[in-house]
């Protein structure tokens, strides 16, 4: 008889084990992007395009978190909005933590600071990151509820790949398009929430 030991599937692992694994992954990400990369970049970390990218990192986490939550049907629209808000808060907390650690790392490791980050540009990028997180979380929630969790994950991956491609091709334009982009993201979030409400009424 084969006595080999195989890893337990993810759904059979204890909640504590999943929590520890998740916390370790986020800690590694925080060290890599919040400490190591800013330390390597130095004052170049204050590049508005790079800071704007950091400010928008919440979309990477908010959409999938919302889609995962909507694998189960919420009891009401109010509960659905609460789930989306939690997912957005989760994604934005990670993004802001990375950004804050990065800024602090540069300030502590640079011998002198002849200039600092562009506050106005960074504020616009943070607005874009917040509204984009709401847009992707709302979109992922609607697709997961209306179709399936697998479909939501697929659509979100495609959207994120397009966003990454757009950043690499037009990264210098990101600070300039932050405010108009926030308007588009807000409209997308409102449309997704409308579709989500309609889906809840039909089920």
Per residue in 57-92, pLDDT (tens digit) is 999 999 999 999 998 899 999 999 999 999 999 999
- Could you tell me if residue 9 is inside a domain? no
- Could you tell me if residue 164 is inside a domain? yes
Per residue in 13-67, pLDDT (tens digit) is 566 677 788 888 999 999 999 999 999 999 999 999 999 999 999 999 999 999 9
- Could you tell me if residue 5 is inside a domain? no
Are the beta carbons of 33 and 98 closer than 8 angstroms? yes
- Could you tell me if residue 1 is inside a domain? no
Which residues constitute the domain of residue 93?
15-202
Following CA atoms 135, 136, 139, 140 in sequence, which dihedral angle do they give, to the nearest 10 degrees?
-150
Please tell me the total count of domains within the chain: 1
- Could you tell me if residue 10 is inside a domain? no
């Amino acid at each position: 008889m084969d006595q080999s030991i195989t890893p337990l599937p993810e759904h059979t692992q204890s909640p504590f084990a999943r929590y520890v694994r998740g916390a370790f992954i986020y800690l590694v990400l925080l060290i890599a992007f919040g400490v190591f990369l800013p330390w390597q970049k130095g004052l170049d970390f204050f590049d508005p395009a790079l800071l704007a990218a950091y400010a928008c990192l919440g979309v990477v986490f908010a959409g999938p978190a919302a889609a995962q939550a909507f694998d189960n049907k919420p009891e009401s629209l109010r509960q659905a909005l609460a789930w989306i808000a939690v997912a957005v808060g989760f994604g934005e907390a990670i993004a802001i933590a990375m950004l804050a650690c990065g800024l602090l790392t540069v300030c502590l490791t640079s011998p002198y600071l002849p200039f600092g980050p562009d506050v106005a540009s960074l504020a616009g990028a943070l607005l874009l990151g917040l509204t984009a997180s709401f847009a992707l979380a709302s979109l992922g929630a609607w697709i997961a509820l209306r179709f399936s969790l697998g479909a939501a994950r697929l659509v979100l991956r495609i959207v994120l790949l397009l966003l990454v491609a757009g950043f690499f091709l037009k990264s210098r334009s990101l600070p300039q398009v932050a405010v108009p982009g926030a308007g588009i993201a807000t409209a997308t979030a409102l449309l997704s929430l409308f579709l989500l409400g309609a889906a809840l009424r039909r089920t």
